[in-house]
C-alpha cells in the first residue's frame, strides 16, 4: 500500500544522500531513531542510502525521558557508541535528541571522519521546505562572507521591533559553525544540522540586554504574549511577562543548575524556505532573517577546551531581526541589506520561490 508523501520523501532523501552527503559505495550510513520517530522517513533514507551504494544501519531505541545528557540513563550507550564509531555518516532522527550527550560527544571526538547531521523530528514537508528550496552554492557563498566578517569582529548587536536589544562580545577561540547543506566531508567541529544558518558562541559573561522571544521550545509560540529574558553578564537574571514567562522560569529553575541560565549560542538564520514561524523548532530556528538563541549546555567542540557543561539545552527564536557585526548592519527587520551580501540573499530567495 502506498504511503503518504512517499514520492516527496524519495526526492528529498535522494538529494540528501547523493548531492548533500555524496554517499559513496561501501560507506556505512547509521540512522538513529526512537519510538517517537516517524519510521517511514527513516526507511526512506535507508533506501536512498542503499540505492547510492552505501550500507545502511538503523538503530531504534525506546524514547528516553529527556534530551541530550538527560537521555543517557535510558540509552544503550555502549552499543550505540560502538556502532557510531564505525560509521561514515550518522543522521540523527531521534524525537528526543542525543545531541550533546556523552554518546554524541564521544562519537564526534573519536570518529574524525564522521559526517553527522541532526534532523530531529522534522516531517517530510518540513524536510522538503528546508532542503529542496536551498541552493547550496548560494547559501555557502552568503554564509561564508558572513563568516569572514565575524572572524574579524569583536561585538554583535541584535534588535527587533518587539523590543529586543542585546549585545555580546565575540571570542576568537570559540568556533563559528555554518551549515549551508554541504555535508560532503567531515566538519572540523563535527556538527552538522539542516541548512540555513551560521552559529556563534558568545564570549562567556558578555551578553547584556533584553530578549523578547517569538517562540520558545518549552512554551511554543509567543507572538501574542510577552516573554522576556533580562540578560546580565551572559546570564538570565529575570523572566519578565505573563504566564509563559513564569512557566519558563519554573522550567529553567527546575534543573537546579546555574549553567542552564547561561547563553550557549546564537544562530543567524537565513533559510529561504522558511519565511514565517510555524510552531516547529526544527523549521523555525532557520527562519529567514531571524535568530535562534540557545541556553545551557555548550559542547567543548564549539567552545574548546571545556565547553559549558549543563544538565540540558533549550532554544528560542526571534523573527525579523536587525543585526550589527561591530558597527556594520547586515540585516534590517529580517531582510539582508549589506551591499555585498544582499545580491546573494536576493538570489537565494529567488531560487526558493522558483522551486
Across 79-100, average pLDDT = 96
Across 175-192, average pLDDT = 81
Query: Is a pLDDT exceeding 70 seen at residue 188?
Result: no
Name residues whose C-beta falls within 8 Å of residue 176's C-beta, 6 or more positions apart in sequence. 147, 150, 151, 198, 199, 200
Own/partner pairs, 156-159, CB within 8 angstroms, 24+ separation: 156/200, 156/202, 156/266, 156/323, 156/324, 156/325, 157/323, 157/324, 158/266, 158/291, 158/318, 158/321, 158/322, 158/323, 158/324, 159/321, 159/322
C-alpha 73/C-alpha 168 separation (Å) is: 36
Condensed to tens digits (0 to 9), the pLDDT of residues 16-30 reads 999 999 999 999 999
C-alpha 130/C-alpha 271 separation (Å) is: 7
Question: Do the beta carbons of residue 295 and residue 288 sit within 8 Å?
Answer: no
All structural domains of the chain with their residue ranges: 6-129, 135-353
C-alpha 294/C-alpha 317 separation (Å) is: 9
Q: For residue 1, what pLDDT is reported?
A: 53
> Distances in Å between the alpha carbon of 170 and those of 41, 150, 316, 322?
38, 8, 20, 18
Q: For residue 281, what pLDDT is reported?
A: 84
Query: Is a pLDDT exceeding 90 seen at residue 191?
Result: no
Condensed to tens digits (0 to 9), the pLDDT of residues 97-113 reads 999 899 999 999 999 99
Condensed to tens digits (0 to 9), the pLDDT of residues 271-302 reads 999 999 988 888 899 999 999 999 999 989 89
- pLDDT, averaged across the chain: 94
Q: For residue 64, what pLDDT is reported?
A: 96
Please state, for a pLDDT cut of 90, what percent of the chain lies above it: 86
Across 121-148, average pLDDT = 93
Question: Do the beta carbons of residue 274 and residue 292 sit within 8 Å?
Answer: no
Query: Is a pLDDT exceeding 70 seen at residue 309?
Result: yes
For the domain made up of 6-129, the CATH class stated in words is alpha beta
Q: For residue 153, what pLDDT is reported?
A: 97
Q: Which three cell numbers stand for residue 301?
A: 567542540
C-alpha 264/C-alpha 308 separation (Å) is: 8
Q: For residue 184, what pLDDT is reported?
A: 85
Q: For residue 189, what pLDDT is reported?
A: 59
Please state, for a pLDDT cut of 70, what percent of the chain lies above it: 99
Query: Is a pLDDT exceeding 80 seen at residue 190?
Result: no
Quote the pTM value: 0.86
Amino acid at each position: 500500500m502506498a504511503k503518504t508523501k512517499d514520492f516527496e520523501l524519495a526526492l528529498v532523501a535522494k538529494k540528501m544522500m547523493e548531492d548533500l552527503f555524496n554517499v559513496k559505495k561501501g560507506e556505512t550510513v547509521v540512522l538513529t531513531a526512537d519510538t517517537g520517530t516517524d519510521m517511514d522517513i527513516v526507511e526512506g533514507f535507508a533506501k536512498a542510502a542503499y540505492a547510492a551504494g552505501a550500507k545502511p544501519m538503523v538503530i531504534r531505541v525506546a524514547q528516553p525521558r529527556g534530551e541530550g545528557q538527560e537521555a543517557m540513563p535510558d540509552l544503550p550507550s555502549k552499543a550505540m557508541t560502538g556502532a557510531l564509531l564505525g560509521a561514515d555518516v550518522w543522521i540523527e532522527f531521534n524525537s528526543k535528541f542525543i545531541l550533546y550527550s556523552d554518546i554524541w560527544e564521544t562519537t564526534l571526538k573519536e570518529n574524525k571522519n564522521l559526517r553527522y547531521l541532526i534532523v530531529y523530528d522534522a516531517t517530510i514537508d518540513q524536510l522538503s521546505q528546508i532542503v529542496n528550496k536551498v541552493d547550496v552554492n548560494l547559501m555557502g557563498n552568503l554564509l561564508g562572507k558572513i563568516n569572514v566578517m565575524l572572524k574579524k569582529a569583536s561585538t554583535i548587536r541584535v534588535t527587533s521591533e518587539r523590543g529586543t536589544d542585546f549585545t555580546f562580545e565575540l571570542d576568537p577561540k570559540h568556533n563559528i559553525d555554518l551549515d549551508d547543506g554541504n555535508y560532503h566531508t567531515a566538519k572540523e567541529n563535527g556538527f552538522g544540522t539542516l541548512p540555513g544558518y551560521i552559529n556563534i558562541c558568545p564570549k562567556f559573561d558578555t551578553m547584556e540586554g533584553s530578549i523578547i522571544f517569538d517562540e520558545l521550545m518549552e512554551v511554543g509560540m509567543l507572538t501574542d504574549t510577552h516573554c522576556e529574558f533580562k540578560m546580565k553578564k551572559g546570564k538570565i537574571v529575570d523572566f519578565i511577562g505573563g504566564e509563559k514567562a513564569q512557566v519558563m522560569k519554573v522550567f529553567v529553575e527546575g534543573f537546579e543548575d546555574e549553567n542552564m541560565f547561561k547563553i550557549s549560542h546564537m544562530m543567524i538564520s537565513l533559510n529561504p524556505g522558511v519565511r514565517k514561524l510555524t510552531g516547529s523548532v526544527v523549521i523555525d530556528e532557520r527562519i529567514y532573517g531571524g535568530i535562534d538563541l540557545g541556553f545551557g549546555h555548550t559542547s567543548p567542540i564549539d567552545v574548546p577546551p571545556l565547553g559549558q557543561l549543563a544538565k540540558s539545552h533549550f532554544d528560542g527564536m526571534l523573527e525579523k531581526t536587525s543585526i550589527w557585526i561591530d558597527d556594520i548592519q547586515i540585516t534590517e527587520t529580517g531582510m539582508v541589506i549589506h551591499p555585498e551580501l544582499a545580491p546573494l540573499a536576493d538570489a537565494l530567495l529567488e531560487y526558493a520561490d522558483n522551486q
